[in-house]
Structure 1
């Protein structure tokens, strides 16, 4: 577990936007009595953020093994708003690694206060956890070998398709396999690195995952000549930062932070930092904001 004062992130190379010169000045409503997450953070003097180690550019490790990424920058703005709301000069931040399989149990058990990864917000999942406003809109697509001739899931009849256990991608592939009687051999892995290795070694014909993560993985491995992303979307996956349910005080703070980020332009700036410009680890995705995400953020107050 890593601990750091908010004011130390610039010194250790993290790109989380904690510095007071770049933070959104959210006008938090007066809080008479702290409850839930805010009370916990106030009493402990720290917040626990969950991060993913392999979800570039949302949440991953840099060369010094520090968690960085788009989702962590957004969480950084929330941590700064928490510090103001509880009238603390800073909030210590403890980073805890989560996986696709462990993220929900850890949030629900209070081991993680705010999950900063690539979790899809669905109505079913909202029965177990709460979510921030949408941070990104993605969907399930397929990564296949370039030149293999596969253009959609229907071309993969009888083939091997790998996906990460416990994800909406796995659910989407199972749905199409059952509905269209494709006879797929469905393979499960615990993370993206394992899935990519299976593709490289020829142990699967396709890797089903969110399209943005597939494009990012290809960019990270400089594998544009080896792999390609194909097919129509098999699912709709709006991402959100995840936290505990039944905590209206914290929910209101998260929503207020996102509204301020949208209105002052910081949401767009953070997006460009990770999807348009070169990332701190050297990759460049050149991925414009989707019309769906633009509409969602405009509803929060982002200028058109």
Structure 2
């Protein structure tokens, strides 16, 4: 073997070893948002613009709502854990379409909205314990009934981009079980506006969100929920995949709030007000008694969310 070939062989062996080392390092690496929070003394929360009563932005451009308060309780615990004298909270508005990309890119550290824990999303992000369980339904003008999928035939349905309702209703349409015209909107507020203006006959979304919008816009006398439930939608706080240190703190805080009964006062504050009344359903109550991270399911056989 010539000296040139021996030198080339040596280079190739070294390169292979370096690649193996890099691969092993990447495989064993974990995301540690806590280290960056300690360094910057800042945590960024992703919030929704119009997902009342879970997550919305007030006039001061700050996040508010049920899920936001749970996130802020976790922020207090993070501050204690890192022994920080101050921890700045910044808010970034996210939509149904960009909430996961913004989390993955590091634009936000926690997503504090109304996001359903699904098996598909579990491949991209981590979820906290369930904080609420909703059901997907349709909002309709009073007098319109939706008790079966056949009742959707011929309807124009408003959907919010990047949501489980968009995914499920597209499956329904392709199956031929119901022939609908589906129109996607950037936000819940835009889809709700389309319904009120007659551009859509129904707005498909989670029942609690639909009731929150109806209450905010004082539309209870003209709009109501259809009777059919299309899916079970367990909400969780999202964080980056593999961010185990941050995730364990969030879960610990939620467990404490559930066990102490503090969750009852928080629930009443946001869901049982003078303008909104959403009784705590059995699945939500069970989630507080036995914290879990179960994924949502479609109520229709052969469909997914």
What's the TM-score once normalised by structure 1's chain length? Answer: 0.82
Q: Give the distance between the partners of 1:240 and 1:227, measured in 2 at CA.
A: 28
Deviation at 1:255, TM superposition (A): 1.2
**Which one is further off, 68-77 or 85-94?**
85-94
Query: Does the C-alpha gap of structure 1 residues 194 and 300 become closer, same or farther in structure 2, counting only changes over 3 Å?
Result: closer
The answer as to 2:281 corresponding to 1:285 is: no
1:273 deviates by: 1.0
Asked if 1 retains the 8 angstrom alpha-carbon contact of 2:150 and 2:177, the reply is: no
Q: Is residue 2:175 matched to residue 1:179? A: yes
Q: Against the structure 1 CA distance between its residues 277 and 149, is the aligned structure 2 distance closer, same or farther, given a 3 Å change threshold?
A: closer
**1:67 partnered with 2:63:** yes
In the other structure, the counterpart of 2:184 is 188
The structure with the largest helix share of the pair is: 2
Q: What is residue 225 of structure 2 aligned with on the other side?
A: 229
> 2:157 matched to 1:161?
yes
CA distance in 2, matches of 1:81, 1:208: 36
* Residues 153 and 231 in structure 1, CA contact (< 8 A), matched pair in contact too: no
Which residue among 268, 282, 296 is the counterpart of 2:287?
Answer: 296
Residue 90 (str. 1) matches residue 86 (str. 2) = yes
* CA distances 1:221-256 after superposition (whole Å, capped 9, x unpaired): 111121111032112110001111112211111111
**Deviation of 1:156 (Å):** 2.1
In structure 2, the residue matched to 1:114 is 110
Residue of 130, 133, 151 corresponding to 1:137: 133
Displacement of 1:211 after TM fit? 0.7
1:148 corresponds to 2:144: yes
Q: Which deviations, in whole Å up to 9, do the C-alpha atoms of 1:142-179 show, x marking residues without a partner? A: 11111235444421212211101110011121222333
Q: Which residue of 1 aligns with 2:24?
A: none
> What are structure 1's unaligned runs of at least 5 residues?
1-33, 279-283
Q: Residue 255 of structure 1 corresponds to which residue in structure 2?
A: 251
Give the Cα–Cα distance (whole angstroms) in 1 for the partners of residues 84 and 164 of structure 2: 38
State the TM-score, normalizing by the size of structure 2.
Answer: 0.82
CA contact (8 A) 2:131 2:287 kept: no
- Equivalenced residue count is 263
Question: Equivalents in 1 of 2:277, 2:223: separation in Å?
Answer: 18
Rounded Cα–Cα distance in structure 2 between residues aligned with 1:41 and 1:149: 50
Q: Which moved more, 1:244-253 or 1:126-135?
A: 244-253
**Contact kept in structure 1, 2:146 and 2:228, CA below 8 Å:** no
For residue 54 of structure 1, what is the aligned residue in structure 2? Answer: 50
The reply to whether residue 80 of structure 1 matches residue 71 of structure 2 is no
